[in-house]
Amino acid sequence: MLLPDSYASTQKNYPVVYLLEGAFTTGMASSLTGFLHSLGTTPDVIVASIQLVVEQNKDFWYLREIEFKVPGVQDAPPQSHANLFLSALEQEILPLVETAYRANPAERILYGYSSSGFFTLYA
C-alpha cells in the first residue's frame, strides 16, 4: 500500500489505483503517480498493490493464467476462474482497502497489463 505524502496531514478521502500483478507494477505506479501529481495533472492517490504470492516461479505463471484469463476466451485454460477472482476483488479486497484506509469508493482505477489488463476489461 502506497499512501500519498499528504495522507498523514489531512482527513480527506483519496482515489485508489488498484494494481494487478503489483510485483511488476508498483514501482512504476509509485513514480508516475507522484510525478503526475507534482505537475498538477492528477490528484494524490492511494496505490494498492495486489500480488500473487507463490513459492515457485512456475506457480506464478500457472496462477496468473487461471486468475486473469476469462473463461470462454481464446487461450483461456479450462480451469480458469477469473469470475472467482472478480468476486473476491469486489467482495473482499475493495471493502478491505476502503475500510482500512480513507479511500473514496467512487474513485477507483483498476490497472493490469497483458493477461491482467484483459482481466481489467472483464471487470
pLDDT at 14: 96
Residue 60 C-alpha cell reads as 506464478
Q: 43 near 52, Cβ under 8 Å? A: no
pLDDT of residue 122: 93
Contact 91, 2 (CB under 8 A): no
| Predicted structure pTM score | 0.85
Closest among 123, 121, 119, 102 to 3, alpha carbons compared: 102
Provide the CATH topology of domain 5-122.
Rossmann fold (3.40.50)
pLDDT tens across the length of the chain (123 residues): 889 989 999 999 999 999 998 776 766 777 667 666 676 777 889 999 998 888 887 888 888 888 999 888 888 888 899 999 999 999 999 999 999 999 999 999 999 888 888 899 999
Q: Break the chain into its structural domains and give their ranges.
A: 5-122
Q: Which residue has 485508489 as its cell numbers?
A: 16
Burial category of 91 from C-beta neighbours within 10 Å (exposed 0-12, middle 13-18, buried 19 and up): exposed
* Residue 104 in grid coordinates: 473514496
- Residue 9: its pLDDT value, please? 96
pLDDT of residue 56: 83
What pLDDT does 37 receive? Answer: 67
Buried b (16+ CB within 10 A) or exposed e, 105-121: eeeeebbbeebbebbbe
Per-residue pLDDT at 35: 64
Q: Using DSSP, state whether 18 is helix, strand or coil.
A: strand
CB 90 within 8 A of CB 82: no
- pLDDT the model gives residue 83: 93
